[in-house]
Every structure is written in structure tokens, then in C-alpha cells.
């Protein structure tokens, strides 16, 4: 009997100690747990906001999150364009400050000028069909280069690496991939194997970064609405950070395979997503139109907006 | 005999796998490799067409390999479509009419004429009629 009481007491004390230790342990882990919890929380927030943005940014042409997109309320004047010690504008995050991203801002390249775009007949017909019953490769998680990067639902991040004389543009959503822009004065290789992001070389024209991309394949659309291109495309982009909050974007499309002459888009604006860290995004996992991955495209309901 | 049969089965399986996988090619619709046949019954012939686009002219080869033939001409006659206002919120409005792509491919004395189905989709195909001298019959090719 005495032995049984001792055993019960031992078990009770052991259990109490275990609970107490576990409590201490949990308490000790709390900051870490919170820290870890921020990622999924931010991710969830990103997805929720992103869907709204995608629907607006992709089809309607605006950023509806009150971040200064078209129609946003006027706030105090934006801070001036941040600059590197050598005076060049900083296009990405400011060193020592929180990481910034850029929201989606380029909707459809022919916006407001469709009738002036010098389409070849097949290219115009392809564009027209895509308005009726086609979904872009991006909805099947395919990496989509140049201007299409700036319609990616969760925006992009510009990572400048002055020591390497290059810049990376990261897609936060969609294929979650990246493009390299070489800024070291190199020339284009004689032969470039066509890829989704192509081969990009940039140079500064005053405060504007001018980027030319060649070697693009034909596996993606230039924008959400289906602006076509061929492998002959030379795509020139002009990035001008107007102030802390706004990046101006303009593109020139030189593609004798799809257009009768080069043409230049209107100016688009990307808005800063202040302090938004990029998050892990698995397109195949989060794709809200998984049937699109099959690529049969036999039955399309274009009234829905799919977030890849 | 068994070896020949096995080779034929392997070839068929490879072609079937290729055909079943839509290839992403969002540029000029004729660019790439097409596979199909023309004729009927015992007269049916397999055909493979490989085409390129230089911005003003499509060119290419029929049945690459021994006995290949250059494609004489490729023309695409596009009938423009019509925009429509139908949407989820406006279901009674007129539906959009997609453009129609009529294609004519000439290889020597063989002419393949047809309509391209789903012209900007990965599973596009051309269905129509072939003529070769006095012969005439159906033809169909699929984009690989």
C-alpha cells in the first residue's frame, strides 16, 4: 500500500514537473513561434489581398488595395527617389530599411491604343481569340517573361547587386521564378537559346534604366490579355523611379514576326509595396484553376478570374 | 516478325504520347511540328510537317528524313471575327465570333486545304481536304 502511494505520488510529481517544464518550454518558444508564425500569416494575407489585386490588376487595370493605384486617395507627397552613393536611383529596397516590393501595374500592353498597334493579321486574330476563350500559360504556372512579370498577382521584388553589376527581378506569385538583368556593359551573345525570361542587358539613360531583352521563346504571353509575340522579339523596357512610391514602366515591342513595325506602349505605373517581404508561393499548390494545368482548354469560362 | 511488331508498337506509343501532350507554342500558329494523315483506307498516308515563320513567309519540310520534300508554299487566310458583349452579367448580348484561320499547304503536287481548329490553343489541328492530281480526300494534322 505504501509502495502504491509512493508510485502514485511519483507519477503525480513527474506529471506536474513535465507539465511545468512544457509550459516553460512553450513560454520560451513563444517569440520564436510568433516569428515563425509571421510567415504563414503574411502569406495568407498576401494571398487574400493578391486575389483582389489580381482581379483588379489583371482584368480591370487597377490596384484596389488603397496603395496608390489608379483612383487611390491622394496622400501626402511621396518621398523623393532614393539613390545610391553614386547618384543612380535605387530601384529595389533601400539598404538598411525594410524590404520593399512593387505591385502589379502592367495590365495589357495595348491599353488605350489597341487600334494603333501594328499587328500582323495573324497576331491580331490570335489576340482576338484570346479575348474570347483562351487562358494564358501563366495560369498553368508557366514562367512568363518581360512585361508579364509586372502583372504577377503578388508583385515583384527588384534585387540590385551592385558588386555583381546585375539586378534580379523576382516574381512573388505565379511561377515564383526570377529574371537576371546584366548591368556590366556586356554585349548579347551571338546565339541565345530562347527561354521564357530571355537574356536581358540594361544600361542607364539618365535616371531611367533601359533594359533590352532578346532570346525569348514563344511559350508565354506578353500580358494577361494575350498580346502575342514570336522568337524574333526584341523587347525594350524603361524603368524610371519617379519617387519613393512609384516606378514608371514603358515598353517598346520590336517583333517583325508579329507586328509590321516596332511600337511603344503607354506609360504604366508600379506602386511600392512597402515592407512586404516576398513569401514562398508554390504555383501548383495554390493554383485556383488546377484543371488548367492539363492544358486541354476545351471548355473555358472566361468570366472567372484564375489566380495561378 | 516479333521484332518488327515491337518496333511498330514502340513507335506508335511514342507518337501517341507526343500527340497527347499539348506543346506550348504561342507564336505564329503554323510554327512547329504537325503530324497526321491524308486519304482513306489502304490509300491513307501518314504525314509530318515541320514549319518555321520568318515574319513574312512560312516555310518547312514534309516528312523530314530520307525522302523528305520541301514545302512549296503555306498560306493562311484569316477571316476576322466580331467582338461580342456577352458576359456573365449580360448573358443575352450577342456572343463574340472568333476569327477563322483557313490554311493551304502545297508540297509539290500535293495540296492540303483546311480550317485550323482552336488556332491559338496547344491542341490545335487542321482538318480539310487533300488533292493530288486526280485524287481527292480528307486530311487532318495535329500540332505536336
pLDDT per residue over A223-247, tens digit each?
A: 988 999 999 999 999 999 999 999 9
**Residue A178 buriedness (CB in 10 A; 0-12 / 13-18 / 19+):** middle
Q: What is the pTM of this model?
A: 0.75
Residue of A211, A248, A208, A252 lying closest to A233 (CA atoms): A252
Q: Measuring CA to CA, how many Å separate A184 from each of A250, A277, B98?
A: 22, 27, 46
User: What is the spatial distance between Cα A255 and Cα A231, in angstroms, rounded to a whole number?
Assistant: 8
On chain A, the residues whose CB falls within 8 A of the CB of B56 are 256
* Residue A235 grid coordinates: 523587347
In the three-class reduction of DSSP (H, G, I as helix; E, B as strand; rest coil), residue B64 is classed as: coil
pLDDT band at B61 (very low <50, low <70, confident <90, very high): very high
| Cβ atoms of residues B56 and B63 within 8 Å | no
In a mutational test of the A interface, the residue from B20, B22, B28, B31 whose CB has the highest number of chain A CBs within 10 Å is B28
pLDDT in tens, A157-189: 999 999 999 999 999 888 889 999 999 999 999
Q: How confident is the model at residue A42 (pLDDT cuts 50, 70, 90)?
A: very low
Q: Compare CB distances from B99 to A120, A125, A258 and report the shortest one's residue.
A: A125
Helix (H, G, I), strand (E, B) or coil at A125: helix
Of the candidates B15, B80, B7, the residue with the CA atom closest to the CA atom of residue B46: B15
Tell how far CA A185 is from the center of its chain: 26
Assess A165–B contact: CB distance below 8 Å, yes or no.
no
Tell me which chain A residues have a C-beta less than 8 angstroms from the C-beta of B29. Answer: 122, 126
Q: Quick one: pLDDT band at residue A1, thresholds 50, 70, 90?
A: very low
Q: What share of chain B is helix, strand, coil (3-state, %, to 5)?
A: 15, 45, 40
CB neighbourhood size of A242 (10 A): 14
Q: Which residue has the cell 535605387?
A: A90
Pick B84 or A67 by higher pLDDT: B84
Residue B43 confidence (pLDDT): 87
d(CA B28, CA B35): 17
What pLDDT does residue A293 have?
Answer: 60
Segment B86-115, tens digit of pLDDT = 777 777 888 888 899 999 999 999 999 999
Q: How many CB atoms lie within 10 A of CB A168?
A: 16
Q: Is ipTM strictly over 0.85?
A: no
Least confident piece of the model among A94-108, A194-208, A292-306: A292-306
CB of A64 closer than 8 Å to CB of A104: no
**What average pLDDT score do residues A124-132 get?**
90
Closest Cα in chain A, distance from residue B24 (Å): 5
Q: Delineate the domains of chain B, giving CATH numbers in brackets.
A: 2-143 (2.40.128.80)
Residue A296 is nearest to which of B98, B120, B123, comparing CB atoms?
Answer: B123
Which of B15, B1, B35, B10 has its CA nearest to residue B124?
Answer: B35
Encode A36-105 in three state secondary structure. HHHHHHHHHHHHHHHHHHHHHHHHHCCCCCCCCCCCCCCCCCCCCCCECCCCCECCCCCCCCCCCEECCC
Which chain A positions have a beta carbon within 8 Å of B24's beta carbon? Answer: 137, 142, 218-219, 295
Residues contacting residue A139 through CB under 8 Å, at least 6 positions apart: A287, A289, A292, A306, A308
Contact (CB, 8 A) for A289 and A139: yes
CB contact at 8 A, A251 and A149: no
Q: How far is B50 from chain A (nearest CA, A)?
A: 16
A234-241 and A246-254 beta bridge pairing: antiparallel
The contacts found for A114-117 with CB under 8 angstroms, 24 or more apart, are A116/A263, A117/A259, A117/A263
Phi and psi (nearest 5°) for B64? -55, 145
Phi, psi of B67 (to 5 degrees): 85, 15
- Say if CB B40 and CB B137 are below 8 A apart: yes
pLDDT band at A291 (very low <50, low <70, confident <90, very high): low
Amino acid at each position: 500500500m505504501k509502495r502504491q502511494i509512493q508510485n502514485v505520488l511519483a507519477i503525480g510529481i513527474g506529471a506536474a514537473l513535465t507539465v511545468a517544464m512544457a509550459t516553460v518550454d512553450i513560454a520560451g518558444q513563444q517569440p520564436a513561434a510568433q516569428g515563425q508564425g509571421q510567415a504563414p500569416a503574411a502569406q495568407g494575407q498576401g494571398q487574400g489581398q493578391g486575389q483582389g489585386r489580381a482581379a483588379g490588376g489583371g482584368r480591370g487595370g487597377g490596384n484596389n488595395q488603397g496603395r496608390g493605384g489608379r483612383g487611390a486617395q491622394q496622400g501626402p507627397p511621396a518621398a523623393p527617389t532614393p539613390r545610391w552613393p553614386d547618384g543612380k536611383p535605387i530601384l529595389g529596397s533601400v539598404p538598411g530599411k525594410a524590404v520593399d516590393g512593387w505591385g502589379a501595374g502592367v495590365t495589357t500592353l495595348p491599353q488605350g491604343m489597341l487600334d494603333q498597334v501594328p499587328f500582323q493579321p495573324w497576331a491580331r486574330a490570335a489576340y482576338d481569340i484570346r479575348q474570347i476563350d483562351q487562358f494564358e500559360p501563366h495560369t498553368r504556372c508557366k514562367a512568363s517573361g518581360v512585361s508579364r512579370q509586372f502583372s504577377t498577382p503578388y508583385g515583384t521584388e527588384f534585387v540590385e547587386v551592385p558588386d555583381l553589376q546585375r539586378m534580379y527581378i523576382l516574381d512573388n506569385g505565379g511561377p515564383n521564378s526570377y529574371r537576371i538583368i546584366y548591368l556590366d556593359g556586356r554585349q548579347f551573345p551571338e546565339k541565345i537559346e530562347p527561354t521564357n525570361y530571355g537574356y536581358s542587358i540594361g544600361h542607364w539613360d539618365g535616371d531611367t534604366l533601359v533594359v533590352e531583352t532578346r532570346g525569348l521563346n514563344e511559350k508565354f504571353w506578353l500580358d494577361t490579355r494575350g498580346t502575342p509575340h514570336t522568337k524574333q522579339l526584341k523587347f525594350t523596357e524603361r524603368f524610371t523611379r519617379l519617387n519613393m512610391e512609384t516606378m514608371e514602366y514603358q515598353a517598346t515591342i520590336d517583333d517583325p514576326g508579329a507586328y509590321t513595325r516596332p511600337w511603344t506602349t503607354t506609360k504604366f505605373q508600379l506602386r511600392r509595396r512597402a515592407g512586404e517581404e516576398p513569401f514562398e508561393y508554390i504555383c501548383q499548390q495554390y493554383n485556383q484553376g488546377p484543371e488548367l494545368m492539363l492544358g486541354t482548354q476545351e471548355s473555358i469560362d472566361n468570366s472567372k478570374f484564375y489566380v495561378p | 516478325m516479333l521484332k518488327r511488331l515491337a518496333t511498330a508498337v514502340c513507335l506508335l506509343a511514342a507518337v501517341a504520347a507526343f500527340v497527347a501532350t499539348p506543346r506550348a507554342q504561342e507564336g505564329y500558329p503554323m510554327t512547329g511540328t504537325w503530324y497526321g494523315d491524308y486519304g482513306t483506307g489502304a490509300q491513307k498516308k501518314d504525314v509530318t510537317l515541320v514549319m518555321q515563320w520568318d515574319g513574312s513567309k512560312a516555310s518547312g519540310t514534309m516528312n523530314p528524313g530520307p525522302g523528305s520534300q520541301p514545302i512549296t508554299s503555306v498560306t493562311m487566310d484569316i477571316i476576322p471575327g466580331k467582338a461580342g458583349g456577352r458576359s456573365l452579367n449580360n448573358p443575352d448580348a450577342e456572343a463574340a465570333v472568333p476569327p477563322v484561320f483557313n490554311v493551304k499547304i502545297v508540297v509539290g503536287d500535293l495540296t492540303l486545304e483546311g480550317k485550323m481548329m482552336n488556332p491559338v490553343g496547344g491542341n490545335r489541328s487542321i482538318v480539310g481536304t487533300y488533292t493530288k492530281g486526280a485524287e481527292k480526300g480528307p486530311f487532318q494534322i495535329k500540332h505536336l
